[in-house]
Amino acid sequence: MVFPPGLFAEPMKMNAKNVCDVHLIWDPRFLEYDFGEGHPFTERSRAAAVRLLEATGFFSRRGIRREAKVNLPSEEILRNFHTPRHIARVRRESESPDPGLLDRGDTPAFPGVWEASARIVSATVEAVRTVSSGGALHATNLAGGLHHASPGAASGFCVFNDIGVALATGLKEGWFRKVAYIDIDAHHGDGVMYGFYEDARVLDIDFHQDGRTLFPGTGSVGEVGAGEGRGTKANIPLPPGTGDGDFISLFRRIVPPLIENYGPDLILMQCGVDAHSGDPLAHLEYTRVAYEEALGTVHRLSHDLCGGKMVLVGGGGYQASNVARILAQDAIVLSGEGVPGADAALPEPWRKEFWSTFGESAPTLWGENPPASPRPWTPEAREKIVQALSHHLRRDL
């Protein structure tokens, strides 16, 4: 694809003296969040991202801190977002000898599902608390990003909503007054969006494949919040086939002015990898370029607007090689260091481990991509969605 001149911002230049402090949380027990053989969601690909970071020496660098043990949260913490009935149902199914479904079929229960789900929630809450209190500049929970669960129900592979619980807890405890949440998962982050739909303390900007073509079927451009929250929610539905150029153009047009105008105390970003080219469950065509540009833009905004206070979580993604490389790249971008070039070789020991884990060959290069078939918009089509969003938000973009 040929990109228009001036599309990409200059990369952040940081030297060894000002590399950002990153607190990465990964507990091996996150792998217990397991829906069974054949289910598309697996934390093993997120573990592969952590192993790739290990193989590249990421954790030996200055300013990188790793936490490897996460305690379970109290039910009181979960109740900051979820209903007691939903929490009780998950616990009941978790302890059942014959657990059933937690939604209409996508999210099966399994023995220990309460503990496995709650631990991932606890990690995101801890990431937000650590950054809010000044314990770290940035924090990330690559296992998190489970944005579909609503206060009263599981949905879309998400039993509990770690983002919703973390934001609700932070607001309740006074860790921050208002927060900006950006979601670039291919699937609309409905659980977070509607969980805070009338809450002006949460600015929610969500780029996703058009809900008329993909689960959960929500997130139209006219949904901009209600009540006190009106104007603090922005949905950017993208047609199947959208690639780097169109996504980045819209992202740079929409995100900075909305966040700058809002003035958050903290930024939380969900970087689902299912928008990457080749994902089996979605139909967008991003490459590593889109993820680097989006995260880099938000990273710079965090430094400009809220002292660098930023939390990153994972999200969707159902092709293991994409998930592992993009989430590892995300952590590197968050640190302020330059990412490996597209033609840089992936470590051979990691590639062998990938084969033994997934039974498929790992990519050879950081920038290796499956064949893409982008169907880029015209400039007129991009402008149409910006104007529609401007109309519903009642402000120019």
Residue 391 in this model has a pLDDT that exceeds 50: yes
Q: Is 148 a catalytic residue?
A: yes
Tell me the Ramachandran region of residue 76: left when phi exceeds 0, alpha when psi lies from -120 to 50, beta otherwise: alpha
Lowest mean pLDDT among 135-139, 218-222, 290-294, 387-391: 387-391
Q: How far apart are CA 394 and CA 397, in angstroms?
A: 10
Q: Does residue 114 sit in helix, strand or coil? A: helix
Q: How far apart are CA 220 and CA 214, in angstroms?
A: 12
Residue 195 in this model has a pLDDT that exceeds 90: yes
Q: Considering 86, 138, 147, 148, which one is annotated as catalytic?
A: 148
**Mode of pairing for the β-strands spanning 179-183 and 266-270:** parallel
Q: Which residues of 81-113 are buried (b: 16+ CB within 10 A; e: fewer)?
A: bbeeebbebbbebbeeeebeebbeebbbbbeeb
Residue 347 in this model has a pLDDT that exceeds 50: yes
Residue 18 in this model has a pLDDT that exceeds 50: no
Q: How far apart are CA 198 and CA 36, in angstroms?
A: 37
Burial of residue 344, with CB atoms counted within 10 A of its CB: 0-12 exposed, 13-18 middle, 19 or more buried: exposed
Residue 127 in this model has a pLDDT that exceeds 60: yes
Asked if residues 136 and 95 have their Cβ atoms less than 8 Å apart, the reply is no
Asked if residues 241 and 278 have their Cβ atoms less than 8 Å apart, the reply is no
Model confidence band, residue 375 (pLDDT cutoffs 50, 70, 90): low
Q: pLDDT digits over 282-329, tens only?
A: 999 999 999 999 999 999 999 999 999 999 999 999 999 999 999 999
**β-strand partners of 345:** 365
Residue owning tokens 């290990």:
54
pLDDT of residue 104: 86
Residue 12 in this model has a pLDDT that exceeds 50: no
pLDDT of residue 147: 98
Model confidence band, residue 362 (pLDDT cutoffs 50, 70, 90): very high
pLDDT of residue 296: 97
Residue 10 in this model has a pLDDT that exceeds 60: no
**β-strand partners of 180:** 203, 267
Domain 22-393 fold is Arginase; Chain A (3.40.800)
Residue 343 structure tokens? 């033609």
User: What φ, ψ does residue 300 adopt, rounded to 5°?
Assistant: -65, -40
Q: How far apart are CA 223 and CA 236, in angstroms?
A: 10
Residue 135 in this model has a pLDDT that exceeds 90: yes
Most confident of the following: 9-13, 66-70, 266-270:
266-270
Choose among 151, 117, 120: nearest CA to 35.
117
Q: Does residue 157 sit in helix, strand or coil? A: coil
pLDDT of residue 355: 96
Q: What percent of the chain has pLDDT over 70?
A: 93
Residues 116-141: what's their mean pLDDT?
97
Q: What percent of the chain has pLDDT over 90?
A: 88
> How would DSSP label each residue in 23-87?
EEE--GGGGG-B--TT-S-BTHHHHHHHHHHHHTTGGGSTTEEEE---PPPPHHHHTTTS-HHHH
pLDDT of residue 379: 83
pLDDT of residue 19: 44
**Mode of pairing for the β-strands spanning 202-209 and 233-238:** parallel
Q: How far apart are CA 34 and CA 250, in angstroms?
A: 35
Asked if residues 215 and 282 have their Cβ atoms less than 8 Å apart, the reply is no
Q: pLDDT digits over 30-74, tens only?
A: 999 999 999 999 999 999 999 999 999 999 988 999 999 999 999
Domain boundaries, the chain: 22-393
pLDDT of residue 8: 30
Lowest mean pLDDT among 19-23, 34-38, 250-254, 368-372: 368-372
Nearest 5°: the CA angle 91, 92, 95 is 85
